[in-house]
Structure 1
Amino acid sequence: MPRDVFRRRDTGSLAPTLSGRIGRFLRPDWARADTARRVTAGLLALLALVMLIRDGRGETGEPVVVAARDLTPGHVLAAEDVRTVDRARTEVPGAAVQDQEAAVGRTVSSPVRSGEILTDVRLLGPRLAEAAVGSSDARVVPVRLSDSGLAELIREGDRVDVLTVGRARDVDASQPTVATVLASGATVVLVASEHPSAGRRDPVVMLALPAPAASAVAAASLTDAITVTLH
């Protein structure tokens, strides 16, 4: 009888209970956890190495033209004004200038800080007119203002209306002068600095306009006084 009891007790101990199974599940397997940590650390190190190599390639693979010193609007770029450097691809803006020789001789359209990457909208050209007007059919037209003091109030990026002032035709000379709006919403892309040696002190303003309006303004500027009003 005692032997049967002992046998039943021994057999029962081999069958795991519910609490025993839960305890075994919750008990950590230290060897397996240590291996998992080592594998994870290795994968993270490999990922960091891949990112480092990728960033290194980006920094040396994208040559761009930058300003060698501070530049002012209206300045014509010379060879000593620009230099070529390598920048990471993530730092290079769209339409960045990458040919240093092509940049020389271009006119700066807005202030540029030393080390700043030159782009197409920083230089006078078709892309600047397109960006200013928002249309591929855009032109930049120079306008010589009749009021020299007005140019001191205008800055690059201002929106203006272009007017011509003259006496009404087909009426007598006693009639007052009348203003005709030649173009509305023109964008100022450059206010040219005065050059006393040029013999004329009337300031020149470069305006971006759609092609038809630019042609009308250019034609009127040959014979009539031109002024602008600011928005």
Structure 2
Amino acid sequence: MSYEPAPRRPNLTNQSLSPSWADRLSDLTRPSWGRTVVARRVLAAALLLLAIALLVRGNPDSDRSAVVVAARNLEPGRALTDEDVDLVEWEAGSLPEGAVTAVADVTGRTLAGPARAGEPLTDVRVLGPRLAAGAAGIEDARIVPIRLADPAVTELLREGDSVDVLTVDPQTPANPDRQPGATVLASRAVVVLVTPSENGRDQRERVVMLALPAPEATKVAAASLTNAITVTFQ
């Protein structure tokens, strides 16, 4: 009977349990579904952060324009001076419509509403034709300053209020028995400014600015020189 020699067992004592550098490199280059998903998520997060950074930073090559901004918090009724405004660079694409681009265009003009420091000024924030047209809703509009006969009514008015303007016909010596009657001078006038109340200032001196169509503005302005003026709210 013949015997075949038993197969030789590999000598495990001479082999290292640590993988070689070649094995590690092979593992890194071998496709793995788990590593692919992680890599894609990392890349997507990096692209998202880059997009956010570009959005915050803006385009440095975009067109820029000079714009007039409030140098500090400003109250309505203030006659603007050079110290009240600054000229700064602004991205042209983000400028509000009607933004003022020259300090000379607002110097000496009256501010119609409050403005925060750094806020761009527009042509409808100061008394002028654009503000009158925007408030009255027609192109041919004017702004008329009046003083109301009753100072208490002035306290109730706010910018944007719509009012009717009335006057009372005074009695004349020729007709002492004639009862004075109210005459409506204008309807749906829009209040664009009420001068602020100041300490020690006579309340009767406060001025109300109204936006009106040109014909009615002329009538109200003429009547305010001789007759007492009041308004009714709508």
TM-score when normalising by structure 1: 0.72
Mapped contact 2:170–2:227 kept (Cα < 8 A): no
Aligned to 1:69: 72
Work out the number of aligned pairs and report it: 201
Fraction of identical pairs, as percent = 51
Aligned to 1:87: 90
Superposed CA deviations along residues 136-188 of structure 1, whole A, max 9, x for unmatched, are: 11111111111111111101111110000124679842343211000000011
| Most deviating of 187-196 and 95-104 | 187-196
Tell me whether 1:55 sits opposite 2:41 in the alignment: no
Structure 2 vs 1, CA of residues 199 and 209 (structure 1 numbering), >3 Å: closer, same or farther? Answer: same
Structure 2 vs 1, CA of residues 199 and 191 (structure 1 numbering), >3 Å: closer, same or farther? Answer: closer
1:117 to 120, 123, 146: 120
Aligned to 1:165: 168
Aligned to 2:81: 78
Mapped contact 2:148–2:228 kept (Cα < 8 A): yes
RMSD: 3.8
Structure 2 vs 1, CA of residues 192 and 54 (structure 1 numbering), >3 Å: closer, same or farther? Answer: closer
Aligned to 1:141: 144
1:217 to 204, 215, 220: 220
Gaps of 5+ in 2: 1-30
Mapped contact 1:55–1:88 kept (Cα < 8 A): no
Q: Distance in 2 between matches of 1:70 and 1:50?
A: 31
- Return the letter of the residue paired with 1:221: S
Query: What secondary structure, in the 3-state scheme, does the structure 2 residue paired with 1:62 have?
Result: strand
Q: Which has the higher helix share?
A: 1
TM-score when normalising by structure 2: 0.71
Q: Distance in 2 between matches of 1:191 and 1:73?
A: 8
Q: Distance in 2 between matches of 1:194 and 1:177?
A: 31
Aligned to 1:150: 153
Tell me whether 1:182 sits opposite 2:190 in the alignment: no
Q: Cα offset for 1:67?
A: 0.4
The runs of 4+ residues in structure 1 deviating greater than 4 Å are: 47-54, 168-171, 194-200
Aligned to 1:11: none
Q: Distance in 1 between matches of 2:225 and 2:116?
A: 36
Q: Distance in 1 between matches of 2:168 and 2:109?
A: 33
Structure 2 vs 1, CA of residues 75 and 173 (structure 1 numbering), >3 Å: closer, same or farther? Answer: same
- Return the letter of the residue paired with 2:104: E
Gaps of 5+ in 1: 1-29
Structure 2 vs 1, CA of residues 56 and 220 (structure 1 numbering), >3 Å: closer, same or farther? Answer: same
Q: Cα offset for 1:93?
A: 0.6
Superposed CA deviations along residues 169-214 of structure 1, whole A, max 9, x for unmatched, are: 7984234321100000001111123578988833211111000100
